[in-house]
């Protein structure tokens, strides 16, 4: 067993003590507010009792008309989930005003002047906002189950109970941690309440989806939902800690949309200095200035962007490696019939006479280039709303399909390396790096929300990531994709025919 150094133990103990002191105060304060206590009592005690009564009535009614036991089997677990969810719904009220409410009451500054670290403050506030509603939810579940046991003698299976408790907990933490993030980024409770729609609507959709799954009794899917929510919880808590900025919290008084300032920040990041191997570019004749402009872009700025994006690049490469594994796995699981992949009949006409499919681009340079550009821009857009994850998924999908076919070729007796070298490599050697770079920059666009750069606000960090995305896309990705499209349309078919055709 590894011994934990006494100093580290003391530091951890001190940190926990600070967080618990904050949590204790917050919870006491919450429970002194009758506007919060009253709904807790109603939703925790009265509503679950009513639910168990209603469930009993419904089951008796169904039994009187011939009976359909499946209704009871599905209704009781569904209501179990509902009584757990209702009390956590008001966790938003507490969580949304954690920071911004204190700011409005002007009690935040004394708290910020204590030795609490940002992480301790964030965790303390989050725990204080999540504990009372969760305890209320658990109590509600107990009341509901006791009622049902008394009315119907129903005891839920242990796995179902654990599933509902975990689901409730994960939903509570998701709602609270995102609400605390909102609270720490706004300047008024009113603004925080308006932004709460971004939490309420997805959560409502999620609960509706869970309800449907409950009625289908497909509980296995709900375990995946729990896992998904757990990942979202981790992401949100990490995001909350990283975006928490006591300076912003205290300094900002109004949520003013300052377009001129945004533009200045963006433009400052987008522009670059002229440079050409140490020459004094400002003394160059006017007609040679473009040399300094290009030198600055390709000699300094683009390499700097790539260095800044190295972590995202590593992440994308790992994703691509995974997609190779996924493609090969699916190929082994779902082998194609031999006549579906007959490479012996490949000819130049195979590429020109492709069947017209609406969603496939025309096999022309413009068509291929347009499709790739569209896909990578879409990746950038999706990345913003998914912390970068969907951008990686969007790149992994086609590569998984490519390797699905490479593996299928191997199963059918073709040389997979030759298949890859003929079909993919000629243009892939340009297209794949371009797509990897664009996706990595898209990942940064999304990940900035989770982890803004040191000393920057989330907005400043995001504008920097956007400027990097645009600059690298235009300067590097677009030329590579154009070349790749030309090779794919003009060269690749010839190589394929040369390698496999007759």
Partner 1 sequence: MIELAGLTKQFDGFAAVDEITLTVATGEILALLGPNGAGKTTTVRMLAAILRPTVGRAFVAGYSVTEHPREVRRRVGLLTEHPGLYLRMRGQEYLDFFGRLMGLSADECRRRGRELLARFGMPEAWEQRMGTYSKGMQQKMALVRAMLHDPSVLLLDEPTSAMDPHSAKLVRDAILGLRHHQRAIVICTHNLAEAEALADRIAIIRRGKIIALGTPAELKTRLLGPPLMELCLSHPVDGIVKLVSDLVSVEAQGEDWLRYSTPAPQQANPRLLHTLASHGVGVFTLSEVPRSLEDVYLRVVEE
* Residues in contact with partner 1 by the rule CB under 8 A: 17-18, 21-22, 25, 28-29, 32-33, 105-110, 112-117, 246-247, 250-251, 258, 261
- Give, in order, the Cα–Cα distances in Å from 365 to each of 201, 272, 386, 473, 481: 42, 31, 31, 18, 10
Tokens 């593996």, residue located? 407
- Nearest distance from residue 30's CB to partner 1, in Å? 10
Find, among 272, 332, 323, the residue nearest to 301 by Cα.
272
- Nearest distance from residue 269's CB to partner 1, in Å? 15
- Nearest distance from residue 244's CB to partner 1, in Å? 13
Q: Is 420 exposed, middle or buried (0-12, 13-18, 19+ CB in 10 A)?
A: middle
Q: DSSP for 434-451?
A: HHHHHHHHHHHHHHTTTS
- Nearest distance from residue 263's CB to partner 1, in Å? 13
CB nearer to partner 1: give 197 or 258: 258
- Give, in order, the Cα–Cα distances in Å from 230 to each of 84, 124, 170, 381: 17, 19, 6, 24
Contacts of 254 (CB under 8 A, 6+ apart): 187
- Nearest distance from residue 102's CB to partner 1, in Å? 8
Find, among 321, 314, 313, 316, the residue nearest to 468 by Cα.
313
Residue 93 burial (CB count, 10 A): 18
CB nearer to partner 1: give 131 or 442: 131
DSSP character at residue 68: -
Contacts of 166 (CB under 8 A, 6+ apart): 226
Tokens 């008001």, residue located? 90
**Alpha helix positions (H), 153-218:** 158-185, 189-195, 197-216
- Nearest distance from residue 451's CB to partner 1, in Å? 18
CB nearer to partner 1: give 247 or 255: 247
How far does CA 465 lie from the centroid of its chain? Answer: 17
CB nearer to partner 1: give 361 or 459: 459
Q: What is the enclosing helix (H) or strand (E) of 83? A: helix 69-89
CB nearer to partner 1: give 23 or 88: 23
**Rounded to whole angstroms, how far apart are CA atoms 404 and 407?**
5
C-alpha torsion sign, points 245, 249, 253, 257: positive
CB nearer to partner 1: give 73 or 109: 109
CB 450 within 8 A of CB 238: yes
CB nearer to partner 1: give 82 or 249: 249
CB nearer to partner 1: give 113 or 340: 113
- Nearest distance from residue 9's CB to partner 1, in Å? 17
- Give, in order, the Cα–Cα distances in Å from 257 to each of 97, 194, 265, 459, 463: 22, 16, 13, 11, 14
- Nearest distance from residue 14's CB to partner 1, in Å? 8
CB nearer to partner 1: give 110 or 355: 110
**Rounded to whole angstroms, how far apart are CA atoms 273 and 294?**
10
- Nearest distance from residue 113's CB to partner 1, in Å? 4
CB nearer to partner 1: give 433 or 459: 459
Q: Largest Cα–Cα distance in the chain?
A: 96
**Rounded to whole angstroms, how far apart are CA atoms 225 and 204?**
14
CB nearer to partner 1: give 31 or 150: 31
């Amino acid at each position: 067993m590894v011994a934990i150094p006494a100093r580290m133990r003391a530091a951890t103990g001190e940190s926990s003590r600070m967080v618990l002191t904050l949590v204790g105060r917050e919870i006491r304060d919450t429970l002194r507010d009758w506007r919060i206590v009253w709904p807790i009592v109603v939703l925790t005690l009265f509503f679950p009792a009513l639910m168990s009564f209603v469930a009993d009535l419904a089951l008796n009614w169904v039994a009187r008309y011939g009976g359909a036991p499946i209704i009871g089997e599905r209704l009781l677990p569904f209501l179990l989930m509902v009584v757990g969810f209702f009390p956590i719904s008001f966790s938003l009220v507490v969580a949304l005003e954690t920071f911004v409410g204190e700011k409005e009451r002007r009690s935040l500054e004394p708290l910020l002047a204590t030795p609490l670290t940002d992480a301790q403050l964030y965790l303390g506030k989050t725990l204080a906002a999540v504990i009372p509603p969760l305890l209320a939810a658990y109590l509600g579940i107990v009341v509901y189950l006791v009622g049902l046991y008394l009315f119907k003698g129903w005891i839920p299976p242990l796995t179902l109970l654990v599933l509902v408790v975990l689901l409730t907990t994960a939903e509570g933490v998701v709602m609270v941690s995102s609400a605390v993030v909102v609270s720490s980024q706004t300047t008024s409770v009113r603004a925080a309440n308006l932004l709460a729609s971004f939490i309420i609507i997805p959560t409502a959709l999620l609960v509706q989806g869970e309800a449907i799954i409950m009625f289908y009794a497909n509980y296995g899917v709900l375990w995946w939902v729990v896992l998904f929510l757990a990942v979202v919880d981790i992401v949100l808590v990490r995001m909350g800690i990283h975006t928490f900025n006591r300076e912003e919290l205290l300094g900002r008084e109004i949520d003013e949309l300052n377009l001129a300032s945004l533009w200045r920040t963006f433009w400052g990041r987008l522009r670059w200095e002229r440079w050409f191997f140490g020459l004094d570019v400002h003394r160059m004749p006017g007609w040679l200035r473009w040399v300094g402009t290009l030198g600055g872009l390709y000699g300094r700025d683009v390499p700097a962007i790539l260095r800044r994006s190295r972590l995202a690049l590593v992440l994308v490469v790992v994703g691509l490696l995974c997609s190779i594994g996924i493609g090969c796995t699916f190929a082994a699981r779902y082998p194609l019939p031999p006549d579906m992949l007959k490479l012996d009949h490949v000819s130049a006409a195979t590429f020109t006479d492709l069947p017209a499919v609406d969603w496939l681009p025309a096999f022309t340079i413009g068509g291929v280039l347009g499709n790739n550009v569209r896909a990578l821009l879409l990746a950038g857009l999706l990345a913003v709303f998914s912390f970068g994850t969907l951008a990686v998924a969007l790149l992994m999908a086609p590569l998984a399909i490519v390797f699905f076919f490479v593996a299928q070729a191997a199963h059918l007796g073709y040389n997979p390396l030759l298949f890859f070298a003929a079909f993919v490599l000629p243009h892939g050697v340009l297209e794949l790096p371009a797509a990897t770079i664009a996706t990595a920059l898209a990942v940064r666009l999304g990940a900035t929300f989770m982890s803004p750069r040191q000393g920057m606000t989330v907005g400043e960090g995001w504008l920097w990531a956007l400027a990097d995305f645009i600059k690298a896309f235009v300067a590097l990705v677009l030329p590579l994709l154009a070349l790749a499209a030309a090779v794919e349309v003009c060269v690749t078919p010839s190589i394929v025919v040369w390698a496999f055709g007759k």
